[in-house]
Amino acid sequence: MNLLLNKRPILVTGSRGLLGTEFVDKLRSFLPPSQVVSPDRKELDITNQDQVSLFFQDHKPAWVINCAAYTNVDLAESERDSAFSINVNGPRILAQACKDHGTKLVHFSTDYVFNGKGNNPWRETDLPEPLEPNWYGKTKWLGEKAALENDSSLVCRIQWLYGSRQNRFSALKEKASFTPFIDQFGAPTWTRDIVDWVLAILNRGGVGLFHLAYDDYATWYEVYEFVKQKWNLPVKLAPSHLHNLKLPAQRPLNGRLSNTKMLDFLKLKTAGSWKDSLNIFLEEGS
């Protein structure tokens, strides 16, 4: 489905957030303003079935790109109902509304659905097993299953996002010391790349489950060392171990995501390195 040829609107939920903002900006760069619908939560609460149904009747979207999510990993342990409502009930309601109206759904999940064991990149065929306690990871797993109940849904697992709405790295300029994790593996992912990959998959008719990731991985310590060198900062980096912290929620140590399926589907040889994208981002923000 070519989004340029489609005349029905595209609905972006969570449009004020990190990823939603990036989608809205990108879509409005090549579509008429009326074709990109970006309500805030007061205008559209995805956990309210009646409100969602009325919104679909009024706007008749061709696509829903669901960027709404409960993302506070530790707070989810004490706000379980809120996390479940947004991360599970929300995509379930959207998936049903999409099925009823002939609308395609894009939904986002996370590497936190895995237990983080081993050193191999996680594939789409690997069985999720969120750690205990990790209510956030469990709700994201249940949410992606709810979205996939609609056969025309596209669910994308992503991780360690950064972008213009949330620059993870600028605070490093103000710190004398910082303690990034040296035992958690994944890759910082630019929201601009996520948007480009998703639109490419959509335009090729992709549905089902995809991991969106670069070709390589790193620890958070390596990422912040890269930033330190790029910006020539005096901050002292003191690596720490995630497993030594007593956080309310457990985090998977191995969050590596395999991008083989994405590359094969898009007929690409490479998705590039996280360093290349982060380098451009840091240059823009320096």
Give the 3-state secondary structure of 179-244: CCECCCEECCEEHHHHHHHHHHHHHCCCCEEEECCCCCCEEHHHHHHHHHHHHCCCCEECCECHHH
SS3 state at 127: coil
How much is the pLDDT for 237? 96
How much is the pLDDT for 3? 59
Which of the following is catalytic: 136, 162, 214, 221? Answer: 136
Task: Please give the chain's pLDDT, 286 residues, in tens.
Answer: 565 556 799 999 999 999 999 999 999 999 998 999 999 999 999 999 999 999 999 999 999 999 999 999 999 999 999 999 999 999 999 999 999 999 999 999 999 999 999 999 999 999 999 999 999 999 999 999 999 999 999 999 999 999 988 778 998 999 999 999 999 999 999 999 999 999 999 999 999 999 999 999 999 999 999 999 999 999 999 999 998 888 999 999 999 999 999 999 999 999 999 999 999 999 987 5
Whole-number Å distance between alpha carbons of 114 and 216? 18
Whole-number Å distance between alpha carbons of 2 and 40? 26
How much is the pLDDT for 286? 58
CA separation (Å) from 152 to 107, 192, 231? 11, 24, 44
SS3 state at 102: coil
CA separation (Å) from 175 to 31, 165, 171, 179, 279? 41, 21, 7, 11, 20
pTM over 0.85: yes
Determine whether 136 is an active site residue: yes
Whole-number Å distance between alpha carbons of 45 and 67? 12
108 phi/psi in degrees, rounded to 5: -120, 140
Is 256 in contact with 214 (CB distance < 8 Å)?
A: no
Whole-number Å distance between alpha carbons of 231 and 225? 10
